[in-house]
Amino acid sequence: MAPSKPAKRVTSADVAVRAGVSVSTVSKALSGNGAVSRETRDRVLAAAKQLGFTARTTTTSRNARLTQTIGVITSDNVGRLTVPVLLGATETLAMNGFALLLLDGRGDPIREQQFISSLLRRNVDGILMTGAGEFSREPVRTDVPVPIVYAMAWSKDPADSSVVPDDAEGARMAARHLLATSRERIVFVSGPERDDASRSRSAAVEEALDEHGLSLASPPVFGEWSERWGRQAAAQFVKSGVDFDGVICGNDQIARGVTEALRDQRIDVPGRVGVIGFDNWDVMVEASRPRLSTIDMSLREVGNIAAGLLLKGIEEQHLEPGIRRVDCQLIIRESTAPF
Amino acid sequence: MDRDTEQRITAGDVARRAGVSTSTVSKALSGNGVVRTETRLRVLEAAKELHYRPPLREGESDGTKARTIGVITNDRFGRLTVPVLLGAFEALAQHEVALLLCDGRGDRIREQYFVEMFQRRRIDGILVAGSGAFPRPALHVEGSIPTVYALAWSVSDHDMSFVPHDAGGAAAIAEHLLATGRRRIAYIAGPQRDTASQVRLAEVRRVLGENALELSHEPLFGQWSEAWGRQATTQLIHSGAPFDGIACASDQIARGALEVLRENEIRVPESVGVTGFDNWDVMVEASRPPLTTVDLSLHDVGVAAGLAILHAMKGEPNVAKGIHRIDCQLVPRESTAMS
């Protein structure tokens, strides 16, 4: 969408009110695309003229409704986090008669640009950019004439629309849960420090502890998003003699590694230490012994909402800017059972 | 209907019908340039009445068509489907073919619904990705839309299916265990009724038979899970049957086996060699020790399926019907190293 929008735009909703019809009737009438009676069309035209409404000629005049297609550009080889987002988006789109054209940008801006051109040539009605994780990213080029929504990785341009899980709040929920199970000597292990998710979650945990006048029992440790790193970090904590009874992990793989290393050291989970992960990835949480408490990022819902926003943007030819944060959910399992 | 030979309505036809110039037609439909709303509507109506489909934008006039392949996935976009899709992407993306993605959820009614939607949208080809390697009924696809099956193969001889040659992989794993000096081999399978379980087990038995050997314990059927691997291994140990090799039908099962062996202080690979199947990086990465397994070449399966559709779309006659098996690769790691 063009970055500069007039301060008070007349929208098709305004025309609809004036003409006494629905927004979708306005779209159909102006696009010449749907079955609208001549007098209705004239009424809509007259209302549009009176209000000085200029339809976005690109969308309507390209018979966009004929394609009923959204282009999706993924960033990460359609990885584990993208899949549920795509599933959620597909569902919402399919229920509204839209299909999904999928292209893998691999997080490469040049590929993304190429794909956007290709999608526009195919007359897609909107574009969904899905990120590989949660971090900010550069916006795509600004002269795209259809609505664009970013999911997971949000656009740095405040005029863009993004939908992300509220993972900072999720991290706070994890901390509060450990506190609620009477654990107060908490440590934090996560993926690389340069990853936004690591930094925002560690800051959120420290915030939540601070609310209770507490702080981490040891500085946060950063490594990889892997079980191996979880095992190593846990071994490090034990060896260093830190006194801890709760571990907040940046993801479920790390949490599983931590749990296994503690078990190897004959430290009982949850008997002596509570461990909580992040992701609610069934493969990890179910196979872990004990099964892992974790934070579910509601990724399907992120996909649902992003698709819904796009559909709305296509209908009304206008997208509300800003970042929408979707609530996470605390999932409690045996690894944080109270003492 | 063969689109290549269909009579083309031109912009000139539309211009005459609407009483405007062809450049006005072009501006009205592409959205480039200023056109009065009433004029644009007249052009759109004329275009609709004549069933006019505007050509792609400039730069596309060299005859390359924007093609689309409908893809139906069936395993919740799981870890099997994604590499197949990415392989297909690669094969198709260079030819400007995009994938229209739908989630069949293993439900034939949903699949058929999507096939009908693809037909309405006049898609150029259909790829049906299965949730595993087993036979499945053919979909009903009208006309000559090329349809290819990947992973799960169609039972119809008239269809093209691309599957990993997992029997070959199972034979390779058995030969590998023998080559590393193991003779008393046990087998932990998935569910008994699963084709993959049966095929892989049969091959292992066949290779053992050729070497005048038998399984040292009757095969253990259960689930495709770590928990089953743990339980089966516990059973195996308690049975008292001697064993120096455990072949597992999947990496998840193998991981469970490795954990129980560790807990019982049975050293891998020194006392027992353990193998998995899949080469799933998440399982393999975290296994202790790293797991010998078979890679399903899913990416290659995807590439082969993509190319087959491409050739079929171009009307090339050389694509054979039936099941095409793509070789799997043995990936030896520490869990079967020779002492």
pLDDT, one tens digit per residue, over B239-293 is 999 999 999 999 999 999 999 999 999 999 999 999 999 999 888 888 999 999 9
Helix (H, G, I), strand (E, B) or coil at B125: strand
Q: What's the CATH number for B166-296+331-336? A: 3.40.50.2300
Name the architecture of domain B67-164+298-326: 3-Layer(aba) Sandwich (3.40)
- Whether residue B40 and residue A57 make contact (CB cut-off 8 A), yes or no, is yes
Q: Chain A: give the shortest CA distance to residue B331, in Å.
A: 20
Considering chain A, what is the average pLDDT of its residues? 87
What is the rounded average pLDDT of the residues A193-212?
95
What is the ipTM for the molecules in this complex? 0.71
- Whether residue B77 and residue A78 make contact (CB cut-off 8 A), yes or no, is yes
What is the rounded average pLDDT of the residues B119-140?
90
**Candidates B37, B98, B255; nearest CB to A45:** B37
Which 51-80 residues of chain B touch chain A by CB within 8 A? 56-57, 60, 66, 68, 71, 76-78
Q: Chain A: give the shortest CA distance to residue B33, in Å.
A: 9
Counts for chain B of helices (H) and strands (E), in that order = 11, 13
CA dihedral of residues A114, A119, A122, A125 (deg, nearest 10): -160
What is the pLDDT at residue A142? 63
d(CA B20, CA B40): 10
Q: Chain B: give the shortest CA distance to residue A1, in Å.
A: 15
Q: CATH fold of B3-49, please?
A: 434 Repressor (Amino-terminal Domain) (1.10.260)
- Whether residue B40 and residue A257 make contact (CB cut-off 8 A), yes or no, is no
pLDDT band at A152 (very low <50, low <70, confident <90, very high): very high
- Searching chain B, which residue's CA lies closest to the CA of residue A290? B227
Q: Which of A239, A233, A235 minimizes the C-alpha distance to A219?
A: A233
Q: Does B85 touch chain A (CB under 8 A)?
A: yes
- C-alpha distances in angstroms, B181 versus B174, B175, B271? 11, 10, 11
- Exposed e or buried b per residue across B22-57, where buried means at least 16 C-beta atoms within 10 angstroms of its C-beta: eebbbbbbbbeeebebebbbbbbbbbeeeebebeee
pLDDT band at B27 (very low <50, low <70, confident <90, very high): confident
Chain A positions touching B99 (Cβ under 8 A) are: 101-103
pLDDT band at A31 (very low <50, low <70, confident <90, very high): low
Chain A positions touching B68 (Cβ under 8 A) are: 101, 122
Q: Which of A299, A301, A325 minimizes the C-alpha distance to A204?
A: A325
- Beta-carbon pairs below 8 A across chains A and B: 116
What is the rounded average pLDDT of the residues B136-163?
91
Q: Work out the percent of chain A whose per-residue pLDDT is above 90.
A: 55
Tokens of B274: 């353990």
**Candidates B60, B76, B227; nearest CB to A87:** B76
pLDDT band at A81 (very low <50, low <70, confident <90, very high): confident
The sign of the dihedral angle between the CA atoms of A293, A294, A299, A301 is: positive
pLDDT band at A118 (very low <50, low <70, confident <90, very high): confident
- Whether residue A101 and residue B38 make contact (CB cut-off 8 A), yes or no, is no
The sign of the dihedral angle between the CA atoms of B14, B18, B23, B26 is: negative
Domain B3-49 identical in fold to domain B67-164+298-326: no
> Can you tell me which residue has the tokens 């200029």?
A54
> Which segment of A43-47, B285-289, B305-309 scores lowest on mean pLDDT?
A43-47
Q: What ranges do the domains of chain B cover? A: 3-49, 67-164+298-326, 166-296+331-336
What is the pLDDT at residue A82? 86
What is the rounded average pLDDT of the residues B163-176?
96
pLDDT band at B171 (very low <50, low <70, confident <90, very high): very high
- In this predicted structure, the answer to whether residue B317 has a pLDDT above a threshold of 50 is yes
Q: Chain A: give the shortest CA distance to residue B183, in Å.
A: 30
d(CA A189, CA A178): 15
Considering chain B, what is the average pLDDT of its residues? 87
Q: Does B339 touch chain A (CB under 8 A)?
A: no
Which 119-148 residues of chain B touch chain A by CB within 8 A? 121
Q: Which domains, from first to last, does chain A contain?
A: 12-55 (no CATH), 67-165+299-327 (3.40.50.2300), 167-297+331-336 (3.40.50.2300)
The overall longest dimension of chain A from CA atoms, in Å, is 82
Chain A positions touching B89 (Cβ under 8 A) are: 103-104
- In this predicted structure, the answer to whether residue B5 has a pLDDT above a threshold of 50 is no
pLDDT band at B228 (very low <50, low <70, confident <90, very high): very high
Considering A83-87, A142-146, B291-295, the range whose residues carry the highest mean pLDDT is B291-295
- Searching chain B, which residue's CA lies closest to the CA of residue A252? B282
Tokens of B193: 């009724």
- Searching chain A, which residue's CA lies closest to the CA of residue B76? A87
**Candidates B31, B45, B60; nearest CB to A57:** B31
What is the pLDDT at residue B120? 84
- Whether residue A102 and residue B86 make contact (CB cut-off 8 A), yes or no, is no
